[in-house]
Structure 1
Amino acid sequence: MQWHSLNSTDQLEQIREESKERPIIIFKHSTSCSISATAKSRLERQWADAGLDQVKAYYLDLLSFRPVSNEIANVFGVRHESPQLLLIKDGQCQYNASHLGINLQEVKKVAA
């Protein structure tokens, strides 16, 4: 799994456009939260087996870039949570889950 850093609100329009070519995930991570650390570790361990090689993954450290997290909520019409995984496809948020409810098999179904 290769993470791409998300650290600017300017990237959100680029992500929206990229998602018209291939699915994008955004993972919002709180570096001070043990649940968030568990969710991130689980996501990284299960990524290869989930068959999501065609999905580009963005990582947001929301403690360092909270304004970006707030703008994600506005742009994609979701409530801010942490940890949180969004699947962006065709310019829209097609999947949104948080905490240990993040399910890569569901992500794969929506991404297909």
Structure 2
Amino acid sequence: MSNQTIESIEQFNELLKKHNEFLFVKNSLTCPISQAAFDEYQEFAGIHTDYPSYHLHVQEARELSNYISETYGIKHESPQALVFRGNEVAWNASHWKITYDALKQEILG
């Protein structure tokens, strides 16, 4: 199932085992910029249902958010979109750079 909320490190590690490539979005429930980016992500995930897409809400999954930042050496930002390929972050964007077109370009080429 695509476009799922992930809340734990265990759930995230399962994604790494399950998929060679997937999109992961960090979303803030209180930030208007984050809401705009989340809408763009939702549009992408809704149209491209065959591409694995997941997200977390920072307020509900801070431990996982920090774990991803520390494990992959990527400064935490919110909103933040990350494309994982082969257990590495192949691409990431934040704030206004998270658009349907940017996601489509990076993921589908």
TM-score (norm 1): 0.81
Q: Contact 1:88 / 1:95 at 8 angstroms: preserved in 2?
A: yes
Gapped runs of 5+ residues in structure 2?
none
In the alignment, is residue 44 of structure 1 matched against residue 47 of structure 2?
no
Q: How many residues align?
A: 104
Deviation at 1:83, TM superposition (A): 0.3
Q: 1:66 aligns with which of 62, 69, 82?
A: 62
Q: Contact 1:95 / 1:107 at 8 angstroms: preserved in 2?
A: no
> 2:26 is matched with which residue?
28
In the alignment, is residue 83 of structure 1 matched against residue 79 of structure 2?
yes
> 1:15 is matched with which residue?
15
Gapped runs of 5+ residues in structure 1?
none
Partner SS for 1:7: coil
- Assess, with a 3 A threshold, how the Cα gap between structure 1 residues 46 and 8 changes in structure 2: closer, same or farther: closer
**Matched residues in 2 for 1:5 and 1:42: separation?**
16
Partner SS for 1:10: helix
RMSD (Å), alpha carbons? 1.8
Q: Contact 2:2 / 2:49 at 8 angstroms: preserved in 1?
A: no
Deviation at 1:46, TM superposition (A): 4.0
TM-score (norm 2): 0.83
